[in-house]
Amino acid sequence: MIYKQFKALNNQKLSSVGFGCWAIGGTWNNTEDQKSIETIKKAVELGINFFDVAPIYGMGHSEKILGEALKDYDRSSLFIATKCGLIWDENKVVTKSISRESLYKELNASLERLQTSYIDLYQIHWPFEGMELEEGMATLMEMKEKGLIRYIGLSNFSLKDTKKCMELAEISTLQGLYNMLEPNSEIYHHKQLEYRTANELLPLCKEEGMAFLPYSPLMQGLLTGEFKLENNFDSSDDRSKNPKLNGERFLNYFNCVEELKEIAQEIGKPLSQVAINWLIAQKEVGPVICGAQTPQQIEENVRSTTWELEEKTIKKIEMVLNKKNIC
């Protein structure tokens, strides 16, 4: 395993490949709780120490599974990142808040589900209009001073709002959509993104010594190279709501992947490893948030750290992406 260090995280060693927990929340096809626990344990065995989760993943279920899987390990050897700001009621209606009262209620619930006394990285999941920014930042700093959280992060924030938060609190990480096919994407599922990762956020992370945490590094499985032109998942799978993975928009991405697969075959590596390796090679990129549903999948992800892309291969990849007008 390759480990990375960032000034804004006190140079703590974090595995370059992390474990993303959306899939284990039970809203993706082919997910089984016991298999998820086995996969998480395999991740620890292989040297992964960074786990990214959120209460909204399965409405608490993902945090519970992660907590159960990690409860017998040395807590100080693990780095658990969860999120806040998205809350739901008994009817599963989701609302947004980062008020002091709401944040403490969320934190206490996450601590219980994760079976831990503190969170390493607490991230605001999504910005929203009218968010209680000053109150929220003050509350997160208070939690940090109490030792309930160690670091504060932002997810999906615009450059403007990120800088505003940096004036109010110590921000250590930024998280956002980033992969070979979506370097500066304007949309995620049906949500408009107010940031451009490669053009705006990565330069800021470099300047400030923060870690950028890329989610969807395999574009929700497309960059495994195993998707077909249709019928990749059913309507119960969250990915069925992603317009880039369905219908007319999907075709351009699919064709691009077919060309990238040829490059991967030339160097004798799976496309998934190429996609993860491409991210790891970038200094500002922190743990790559890779999902996995089986021990075999996590083993495949970790193999991405055992070799490096050559410059000539990177140029071939860029030629394909530019030709397909990928953004």
Q: At what angle do helices 295-302 and 33-45 cross, to 10 degrees?
A: 30
| Active-site entry in 57, 151, 195, 253 | 57
Q: Tell me which residue has tokens 């065995």.
A: 45
Q: Are 84 and 131 spatial neighbours (Cβ–Cβ below 8 Å)?
A: no
Q: Tokens for 170?
A: 């110590």
Helix (H, G, I), strand (E, B) or coil at 289: strand
Q: Tokens for 33?
A: 């709780």
Helix (H, G, I), strand (E, B) or coil at 223: helix
Helix (H, G, I), strand (E, B) or coil at 18: strand
Q: For residue 173, list its beta bridge partners.
A: 153, 211
Neighbouring residues of 109: CB distance < 8 A, sequence distance ≥ 6: 55, 60
215 in active site: no
| Nearest C-alpha neighbor of 45 from the set 13, 12, 1 | 1
Q: Tell me whether residue 210 is exposed, middle or buried, using C-beta atoms within 10 angstroms of its C-beta: 0 to 12, 13 to 18, 19 or more.
A: buried
Q: Hey, which residues are catalytic here?
A: 57
